[in-house]
Structure 1
Amino acid sequence: MLGSSSILCLVVISACPFLIYGQYSESLCPSQGVSSRCHCTENVIECRNRGLTSLPNFQTSPWPFKRLDLSKNNITYIPARAFEGINVTEIDLSFNMLTGIHREAFINLKKQLNGVDLHNNLLFALPEVLSTLENITKLDVSYNPIPHDNFTDNVMRLIGDWITEFHFGDQDLQQWPHSLHHLAELQFLKFYGGKMDRIPITAFNGFEHTLRKLWMQSTHLIAVPIALQYLHNCNELHFDNNVFVKDAGILIPAFAGMTKTLDTLSLENNSLSTFPPVLRTLVSLHNLSLARNNLQIVSDQAISEVGSNLTTLNLQGCNLDRIPGALSKLSMLKNLDFSYNKITTIEKNDLQAMNHLASLNVSYNPLAYVSKSSFHDLGSLEELVLKNTSLYEVPQAITNLPHLKILNLEQDQPSIECNCDLSWLYCFTKTNNSALTIVGACYTIVLDIGLYVKNDVRTTCPNMC
């Protein structure tokens, strides 16, 4: 039952603009019918995963919602004037069963709608209704069975002056759509899937000077497209899950236009066995991910290919059984991720000359031993993540980390022994590092490691400080 203050807010809406949960969402959310009632917050009309087969009947609401979320339903068609009564700038219709959208579906929103998400539907052509949107900047039609010739010139031309972010592609796409050249303002492009093993050299014509970020993922490509050489202002490239590429497919000429601009490069899961030689040409590269490649051994020669400006390196899931000593050459690294490998020990001479390293992640490894003499060169380390390892004790090597702020020892099955052997850790936190946060649970008692060290060691163990 509504209280008196809530009733007053329903009568005088402007007096209570931030009553957005509870009574507000029940009374002012602009949908009708028990089965289609949506939940509303300050900015979102949320109708996600409601089992809808058609749109709710929206009623006029004075609330200035920003986004309508209709994702993960079973909606098959959007009729004319479907959104009268609401005032949003973004609509999410992803993960439905859409086969068509009426040309006048968005008629009352045509001047304000700037984002439409249609990915994972059953559309066989680019909906003509999109050409009526006068300010659309972001469009996602990925994972719809749209053949290349149904990215129609007329629609692409009419939205080309507005679109800055475009997502497309499907596992059955046979050719690269020629009509993409109409997207003259494009800054972000995401391409998924496709059956083609190469794309035309003219693929990025029309937006080669505007594109800043590019994703090409889960394709059948056998090499990095040569067409990339014309992207002169691209600073971020995600070329991932292209398992047919392999080492020979990372072509140096493809990166010719990005040698001075590329800041972030992801080459995850491309069947690589080593660091690609192209890295030595990318003088502005700061962030590199080679995750989920079968690197096994990282040699001095391989590391010599990497530029000296690299600050973030992701080697997650690369089948490494030890920390490569060659990484000591990357002295400017700040973030290093070794999670999901086969590393069993951290030795004294591992991680040398990494004076700038701030975050180290060795989680999800069968790590059982950390030398007390390790970490000596990690004077700037602030975060050490050792989640789900085989450690039975807190590594005393952390006493070599004067600026450590977070030690994460979380385990699905806690294994750290909490007893008076942790007196050294109490002393370390008391005298050297009072700001240290320890995350993880004790094995022997139902208590967090950090709380045990802070309270129980002090009261029940001999004073070792």
Structure 2
Amino acid sequence: MSEIPTDFFDPLQGHFLSVLDFSSNYIRALRPFVFSNLTRTRLLDLSNNRIEKIEPEFFENMQDIRVLKLIANNIKHINPNNSSWKIGLTELDLSGNCLTKISQFTFLGLQNLTFLDMQSNIDLTILERTSFMGLKQIETIDLSQCNIANFDLVTPSLKSLFLIDNPTLFHMTFYPFESLQSLVHLNLRKTRLETVRLSLLVANISLFDGLVSLTTLDLSENSIGSIYVWAGYLSFKPLSALQKLSLEDCQISFLNPLAFEALTFLRVLKLRGNKIKQLPIDILNIFGQMTYIDLHNNRLTYLDINLFLNNSRLTTLLLSENKLTRLNQSTFKLIGPSHTSVDLSRNPLECNCELSWLLTWISGPFVLINKKKTICSPASLEPLREKPLFDFDSKTLCSYNIALYTLTSLAIMFFVVIVLLIFHYRWQLRYKLFLLKLAAVGYNEMRDARDHNDYEFDMNVIFYDDDEEWARERLLPTLEERLPQFERNVFGDEDLVPGMHYLDAIDYVVSRSYKTVILLSRAAVRDRWFMLKLRTAMDHVSDTQTEFVVAVFIEDIPDDEIPFLARLYLSDGRPYLYWTEDVRGQEYFFDELTKYLTINLRTNDLIPNE
């Protein structure tokens, strides 16, 4: 099609046409009011055409439209007459066009817009300070693969900003983010960012001034080189809330011990593909919340004994493709919970008796990634040279210490006896300990002072797709009857925030809900994405110290099928319920569930778990 006649949609007036796709045609221009009869349309796709100009009057009277896709057209001008948009768009995609400038009137009237994609507009070089001021609810803007040289925005509601592959971005602007205090996610990958610029050193300022709410920052594929505490251009001091930092492929060869001193809440640190030869002893000690460290493809030759001294929550450590020859057991024994995943592949490891401890740890606290690529170096014991680490049989190649093994065996036997005795009398001991604690410190039920009106959402129900029928027929009607005050509810993935990354949307809803109900079934616990949702909820329980999550077992799950996360939840004594087909049991079930949903208790470990 090369054009759309003005009366083309007259027969559809008043009809429930929800989605209209005119993509991949030859439309060069649109007529005013051409879509005025499509009052019920929610998504309009005009991508891959040859449209050169967009006016608000083209979409006049489209009351229900929420998503407008104009990808890969020849659009040079949007709203050149400075008219006001009169539609309730929430998502607008203008990627792959020929835009050159965005004025303060371009999006005038689009107050409900939350997602704006303008990537791959290579002629877009200038953004005025007022370019997006009319977008009162905008949360995500993608300006990747443009050539923006002047950047100074004022968008108080903005949460996510993508500026990937903007090679001229920092040639003129020194501190472009000072007005974006609500920004949560910032991606500056491939922006030719450099470590030091004299003007910033003299002014003693940071590129990230103002980003007090930022949790995710991606600086990968920039020529950073080294990070010094005096390099104001890359000072992370303003980023006190940062949780994820990516510095991949940045040619970093040196890290000052205090380079990340302000990032006390950092959980994910990615330093993959750099030139780091040695990590300062104290550089990771401030990261008490760290769970993921990626040091793949660097030049590390040595890991200090106290390097992971404060990383008790670390679950993933990637050390592949470095130059590590020896590993100290004392270095790794400080790493956090059991089943920590570690990648040591493609390192020139010297497999000798000093390394025999690693084989024991691999089958215990460690889970070794890329086992087949973890090869012993030529400097290893002769039978192990160029062989996989798992070919190392320490019993055969290393001599025994009879005295040590005898004492160890006796200690183990003594320990087993003690454990058996404790297990045999466990209920009596727990009861006595409970009475002792109750007599010494007492017990007060601690409730969270906030109620459901203090949260963005009243209730969030998380379930597996196959369990949706049970949830809608059994759970939802009863909760609506018993809890009429809960009006702002999120029911499954359909009610998540549109336009947001899936996991970020899950995290957003969980953290802003008064109560979260998780429906557990045999199919659900085998689904990886569902377990990621459960992990997200558990992390927030741990962070907030509030029991706002209720687990509901809608069917009996055998013990051997219950995953580690569900076992961890139950072992912490968190609230949970079992669904039963008995009528009286169902009445008790909903009474208990209603009670759990109307209060939030603070976590209290004084009462022993059953």
Judge same fold: TM > 0.5, yes or no. Answer: yes
- Give the drift of 1:205: 4.2
- Which residue of structure 2 lines up, in the alignment, with residue 300 of structure 1? 229
- Give the drift of 1:148: 0.7
Question: Which residue identity does 1:363 align to in structure 2?
Answer: H
Question: Which residue identity does 2:372 align to in structure 1?
Answer: C
Closer, same or farther: CA 369–140 of 1 in aligned 2, 3 Å: farther
Closer, same or farther: CA 367–304 of 1 in aligned 2, 3 Å: closer
**SS, match of residue 127 in structure 2:** coil
- Which residue of structure 1 lines up, in the alignment, with residue 72 of structure 2? 143
- Which residue of structure 1 lines up, in the alignment, with residue 469 of structure 2? none
On the 8 A contact 2:59/2:87 being kept in 1, the answer is no
- Which residue of structure 2 lines up, in the alignment, with residue 188 of structure 1? 115
Closer, same or farther: CA 323–381 of 1 in aligned 2, 3 Å: farther
- Which residue of structure 1 lines up, in the alignment, with residue 333 of structure 2? 399
The question of 1:163 aligning with 2:84 is answered no
- Which residue of structure 1 lines up, in the alignment, with residue 480 of structure 2? none
Higher alpha-carbon Rg: 2
Match of 1:284 among 202, 210, 213: 213
- Give the drift of 1:100: 6.0
The question of 1:320 aligning with 2:252 is answered yes
CA RMSD of the aligned region, Å? 4.5
- Give the drift of 1:245: 1.9
Closer, same or farther: CA 333–77 of 1 in aligned 2, 3 Å: same
- Which residue of structure 1 lines up, in the alignment, with residue 186 of structure 2? 265
The question of 1:428 aligning with 2:361 is answered yes
Closer, same or farther: CA 417–77 of 1 in aligned 2, 3 Å: farther
On the 8 A contact 1:173/1:195 being kept in 2, the answer is yes
Q: What pairs with 1:354-373 in structure 2 (closer than 5 Å)?
A: 354-373=287-306
- Which residue of structure 1 lines up, in the alignment, with residue 150 of structure 2? 223
Q: Counting helix residues as a fraction of each chain, which structure ranks higher? A: 2
TM-score normalised to the size of structure 2?
A: 0.50
Closer, same or farther: CA 92–149 of 1 in aligned 2, 3 Å: closer
Q: What pairs with 1:102-121 in structure 2 (closer than 5 Å)?
A: 110=38, 113-121=41-49
Question: Which residue identity does 1:184 align to in structure 2?
Answer: Q
- Give the drift of 1:366: 4.3
- Unaligned 5+ segments in structure 1 are 1-74, 446-451
Match of 1:203 among 120, 127, 131: 131
> Which range is displaced more, 120-129 or 261-270?
120-129
The question of 1:332 aligning with 2:332 is answered no
Closer, same or farther: CA 444–245 of 1 in aligned 2, 3 Å: closer
The question of 1:384 aligning with 2:317 is answered yes
What is the rounded CA distance, in whole Å, between the counterparts of 2:354 and 2:168 in structure 1?
52
**SS, match of residue 325 in structure 1:** coil
What is the rounded CA distance, in whole Å, between the counterparts of 2:41 and 2:245 in structure 1?
39
On the 8 A contact 1:187/1:213 being kept in 2, the answer is yes
Question: Which residue identity does 2:190 align to in structure 1?
Answer: N
Closer, same or farther: CA 138–420 of 1 in aligned 2, 3 Å: farther
- Which residue of structure 2 lines up, in the alignment, with residue 21 of structure 1? none
On the 8 A contact 1:328/1:352 being kept in 2, the answer is no
Deviations 1:141-183 (A, max 9, x none): 13321121578878x83xx422101121446323337442132
**SS, match of residue 227 in structure 2:** coil
Closer, same or farther: CA 194–402 of 1 in aligned 2, 3 Å: closer
- Unaligned 5+ segments in structure 2 are 197-204, 376-387, 409-610
**SS, match of residue 240 in structure 2:** coil
What is the rounded CA distance, in whole Å, between the counterparts of 1:444 and 1:237 in structure 2?
39
- Give the drift of 1:288: 1.9
**SS, match of residue 68 in structure 2:** strand
What is the rounded CA distance, in whole Å, between the counterparts of 1:220 and 1:144 in structure 2?
18
**SS, match of residue 357 in structure 2:** helix
TM-score normalised to the size of structure 1?
A: 0.64
- Which residue of structure 2 lines up, in the alignment, with residue 40 of structure 1? none
| Number of aligned residue pairs | 368
- Give the drift of 1:244: 0.7
> Which range is displaced more, 329-338 or 164-173?
164-173
